[in-house]
Chains A and B, each alone.
Chain A
Amino acid sequence: MHSSGLSPAARSRAEPRRRPRLLKRAHEQRYLLAMSLPFVALVFVFNYVPIWGWLMAFQRYRPGRPFFEQQWVGLKNFTDLFQDETFYLALKNTLGMSVLGLILGFTLPIIFALLLNEMRAGLFKRTVQTVSYLPHFVSWVVVAGLVYKMLSTDGGPINQLIAHFGGPPVQFMAHSNYFWGVVVLSDLWKEIGWNTIIYLAVMTAIEPALYEAARVDGAGRWQLMRHITLPGISRVVIILFVLSIGHLTAIGFEKQLLLSNPVVKDSALVLDLYALQNGIGMNKFSFGTAIGVVNSLVGLALLFGANAFFRRKTGDSII
């Protein structure tokens, strides 16, 4: 036994004192404990217990039996999944829509923020900003309704514009080829303003002296933008980019579920929707969970991959 340097007598005096001290502190902080412990229990139940449910992916879960009396099937759900053609369709749709969404949904807010930043402060600028955040607060149910209305063939403004220039009406919602575009563009419409808030905030924090010094040196508007504003926001841009790569497979199913119809359902099937349909729609709980697990793992791999790439390039880690 290692000696702690204290005589046996000193240790026996010190040890019983430690626990009462902890208890004493707990007693002093009883209000703080009472204010947090019920919520710890709640978080445990609603956020931690479902993580445990991942084990279901390795079972043949049948409702009504205790968890440990379920039949364990190893990787069967996963091998079934990788042999299912529908899985590859869902994966293709998920990655297709999210990569398209990343390209537009990532670059356009930056451009929009740069342009807003170049506007003179005034009523018009404030109006544009305020209005552009608004769709973020409207539900996808409403947005889906608006999208249908705007794209409809009887009186939808887009088709009226097309007709005005002499084109034939386009049934946007009844063509599989248009579905990805409709989802990506409506998402862009909803979130572009909201996504500029962070860039505008970072731009405000750039030292004004930098601009003055550059202007004294004869820099024009484009040069100020290229050499001061853009480098000023580049760190935030990189962080957000790496994080959105991690979220590539987590695009959810809300838009796809609300915007799809029987005609375009093959283009709308994303991984989460596939899990929903199998797991809850057809009671294949274990198979549905396996889809969720694969989805999360692909997302994690993308996140760590992107982070490793940027760490090698910049020597800086994001997560």
Chain B
Amino acid sequence: MTHLPTGPRARPSTFDLVNGALMLLVLIVTVYPFLNVLAIALNQSQDTVRGGITVFPRHPTLDNFRAIFAYGNIPQAFFISVARTVIGTVLSLGACAMVAYVLSRRDFLGRGLLSRFLAITLYVSGGLIPGFLLIRDLHLMNTFWVYILPTLINAFNIFMIRSYMDELPVELQESARIDGANDLVIFVRIILPLCAPVLATVALFIAVGQWNSWFDTYLYNSSSPQLSTLQFELMKILQSTQSGADAMHSSELKTQQITPDSIKMAITIITITPILVVYPFLQRYFVAGMTLGAVKG
């Protein structure tokens, strides 16, 4: 990556300038939509209708956000989204790490079998409709657990954690065993703390997946409004205004002088904020994790 002459004396060539300009363009194209949405969400609703909002709000206000939290199902959906993300991430990370640890033990008697059993799921899946019928037959429809159970075990995450565990020195486990620790104690006390970087990466993947998921709500829980998620509510609002059936013009909004557009933008901001908050902290982990996978593979 650093094969170019660096140092203070190297003057930027035409190539550097063109390249820099291109990269700046990529930066703007990526960031502008987010800034625009943020500006509209923070701008007075009636004023936004006049148009011309770019990256700064013209009449800053938090009214749109206040309106959301009084609007329909949004507070409950926010709670469910947080709950599924927290519970789903903790359980799935714990389960995947546990299976990864068992797989990392070279002396485990079912090692080859378990490994193949998991790898097959990466390539073959039953598809949409058999999956749907299974969930229905298991009576998981209209339950919270439909968010957690089907994706609890993920072979890709397991293999990622396992390859990290494989690099840990075996001697640590051996000395713990001499001290009388059993496999579960070794896993919790010794292995897990050492795996913090890879666990952070996998936790980010699981959490983002849970937070962003809307299709399972659509498919399995759409007749249980109390189990709705933020993404699904956003999706319903977007779809209803796009198809012209303006369900958003309910009386609760009219009294507050808030337009559907402002509500959409405010919910969008609520939906992406948690990701923006954790992203900078976890960024270096996932880049390192993906890099390791790439160089090895």
- Residues of chain A touching chain B, judged by Cβ–Cβ distance below 8 Å, are 22, 25-26, 29, 31-33, 35-36, 39-40, 42-43, 45-54, 56, 63, 112, 115-121, 124-125, 127-128, 130-135, 137-142, 144-146, 148-150, 154-155, 157, 173, 189, 193, 197-198, 200-205, 208, 211-212, 215, 221, 224, 236, 239, 254, 258, 261-262, 272, 275-276, 279-280, 285, 288-289, 292-293, 295-296
Interface pick from B63-71, B159-167, B251-259, B268-276: B268-276
Give the dominant DSSP class at B's interface.
helix
Are A49 and B291 neighbours in the complex by a CB distance under 8 Å? no
Chain B residues near A285: list those with CB within 8 A. 129, 133
Chain A residues near B31: list those with CB within 8 A. 131
Are A276 and B128 neighbours in the complex by a CB distance under 8 Å? yes
Q: How many A-B residue pairs have CB under 8 A?
A: 239
Pairs across A and B, CB under 8 Å, 8 listed: A53-B133, A56-B130, A112-B26, A133-B283, A141-B271, A197-B294, A211-B3, A275-B127
Known: A52-B126, A53-B129. 16 other contacts (CB 8 A): A39-B152, A42-B152, A53-B130, A54-B127, A63-B133, A119-B16, A131-B31, A146-B33, A148-B238, A155-B51, A157-B36, A208-B2, A221-B15, A275-B129, A285-B133, A288-B128
Measured in the bound complex, the distance between the Cα atoms of B19 and A157 in whole Å is 24
- 1/0 contact trace for B125-153 toward A, CB 8 Å? 11111111110001000000000011011
Q: Which of B152, B183, B265 contacts A31 (CB 8 A)?
A: B183
Give the dominant DSSP class at A's interface.
helix
B178 at the interface (CB under 8 A from A): no
B219 at the interface (CB under 8 A from A): yes
Are A142 and B132 neighbours in the complex by a CB distance under 8 Å? no
Q: Which of A42, A117, A141 contacts B214 (CB 8 A)?
A: A141
Measured in the bound complex, the distance between the Cα atoms of B219 and A254 in whole Å is 13
Chain B residues near A140: list those with CB within 8 A. 212
Measured in the bound complex, the distance between the Cα atoms of B124 and A88 in whole Å is 24
Are A149 and B98 neighbours in the complex by a CB distance under 8 Å? no
- Residues of chain B touching chain A, judged by Cβ–Cβ distance below 8 Å, are 1-4, 6, 15-16, 19-20, 22-23, 26-27, 29-34, 36-37, 51-54, 95, 98-99, 101-102, 105, 107-110, 114, 117-118, 121, 124-134, 138, 149-150, 152-153, 155, 182-184, 187, 208, 211-215, 219, 231, 234-235, 238-239, 242-243, 264-265, 268, 271-272, 275, 279-280, 283, 287, 290-291, 294-295, 297
Measured in the bound complex, the distance between the Cα atoms of B242 and A30 in whole Å is 57
6 A-B pairs with the lowest CB-CB distances in the bound complex, closest first? A50-B126, A53-B130, A139-B212, A292-B127, A31-B183, A211-B3
Measured in the bound complex, the distance between the Cα atoms of B269 and A146 in whole Å is 11
Chain A residues near B23: list those with CB within 8 A. 115-116, 119, 124-125, 128
Closest chain-B Cβ to A265's Cβ sits at a distance in Å of 11
Measured in the bound complex, the distance between the Cα atoms of B106 and A245 in whole Å is 35
Chain A residues near B22: list those with CB within 8 A. 115
Q: Which of A39, A145, A289, A292 contacts B153 (CB 8 A)?
A: A39
Are A201 and B271 neighbours in the complex by a CB distance under 8 Å? no
Closest chain-A Cβ to B158's Cβ sits at a distance in Å of 9
User: Residue on B with the closest CB to A43?
Assistant: B153
A224-B110 contact in complex given A53-B126, A54-B130, C-beta closer than 8 Å: no
